[in-house]
Amino acid sequence: MVSIVAQNVSVVFPMVGSDVRHGMKLKKQTERRGTQLGGKIILEDNRPAGILALDRLNLVAKPGDRIGLFGPNGSGKSTALRVLGGIYPPTAGHIEVNGKVSAMFSLNLGVNQEATGLENIELKGILHGLRREEIRELVPEIVDFSELGDYIHLPVKTYSSGMKMRLLFSIASAFRPDILLLDEWVSTGDKRFRRKVAQRMETILDQTPIVIVASHDHRRISSWANKIIQMKRGHAQMLDPVAFSEWQAWKEWKRGKKNRKKKKALQDS
């Protein structure tokens, strides 16, 4: 059965060389401002030695799970996705993955700028663990979806950034994974292409057994996810989706109330 199980998974980014010098300044600022952003800074002999980006993540994902990772900047969402996708090794803990994983972010990874669009399709396919015949079968669909026409035969370095994203999205979305990891909802290209992307993403989100999305968009997370993980300073907490929606609605109402009060005070003055 398709699944991901993470047990006490932590990720520490060590600070070395000049990082440590800059880290000293950062620590002083952090203390002064009392900010709660980012993973905990690990100190050794009062010197910053690393950042605890992910702190003992426990997760069990099964088919049908739609998991939303939510939290402020630096809370560990991207790190969690990258460690689950095998991009970062865990510093501690254990991850067991059953199924083909597609991390639909860092799409530039593994792209050869000198190679043509077609050659990059093959390169990416190999990186995804597909056989050459499987890749060849997907080529027409990828080329057609990208609408790159004759540019598919030119080196990728000649593409505009939008053209490159068209190619990379067309490739990434053609490989049908068992487990899909997304860092924010994908949207790329010009207006017409964005509509195509949205339609394709809807199908993929429907058909993929396990999907994990990190996002700041609490409304979308509320309406889509059946499991919600709130990240805070590297620490993950499972939230009840109904309680999450109510909490977000209350926060919005409070923000609205504050704004209305400000507006009234301005009108009265």
Chain residues that interact with ligand ATP, rule: CB under 6 A = 13, 38-39, 51, 53, 71, 73-79, 231
Nearest approach in angstroms of CB 231 to ligand ATP is: 6
Q: Between 57 and 165, whose beta carbon lies closer to ligand ATP? A: 57
Q: Between 101 and 174, whose beta carbon lies closer to ligand ATP? A: 101
Supply the DSSP symbol for 153.
G
Q: Which of 70, 72, 97, 74 is nearest to 9 (CA)?
A: 97
Q: Between 22 and 94, whose beta carbon lies closer to ligand ATP? A: 22
The alpha-carbon radius of gyration of the chain (Å, integer) is 22
Q: Between 79 and 146, whose beta carbon lies closer to ligand ATP? A: 79
Q: Between 76 and 117, whose beta carbon lies closer to ligand ATP? A: 76
Nearest approach in angstroms of CB 13 to ligand ATP is: 3
* Mode of pairing for the β-strands spanning 210-214 and 66-70: parallel
Upper half-sphere CA count for residue 218 (Cβ side, 13 Å): 17
User: Nearest 5°: phi and psi at 216?
Assistant: -95, -5
Query: Which residues make Cβ contacts (< 8 Å) with residue 113, sequence separation at least 6?
Result: 155, 156, 157
Nearest approach in angstroms of CB 78 to ligand ATP is: 3
Q: Is the dihedral of CA 152, 156, 162, 166 positive or negative?
A: positive
Query: Which residues make Cβ contacts (< 8 Å) with residue 89, sequence separation at least 6?
Result: 83
Nearest approach in angstroms of CB 39 to ligand ATP is: 4
Nearest approach in angstroms of CB 154 to ligand ATP is: 33
Q: Between 77 and 218, whose beta carbon lies closer to ligand ATP? A: 77
Tell me if 179 sits within 8 A of 2, measured CB to CB. Answer: yes
Query: Which residues make Cβ contacts (< 8 Å) with residue 194, sequence separation at least 6?
Result: 187, 188
Residue type at 181 in one-letter notation: L
Q: Between 38 and 125, whose beta carbon lies closer to ligand ATP? A: 38
Q: Which of 134, 4, 22 is nearest to 58 (CA)?
A: 4
Nearest approach in angstroms of CB 124 to ligand ATP is: 23
Which residues make beta-bridge pairs with 21?
Answer: none
Nearest approach in angstroms of CB 61 to ligand ATP is: 18
Which residues make beta-bridge pairs with 235?
Answer: 232
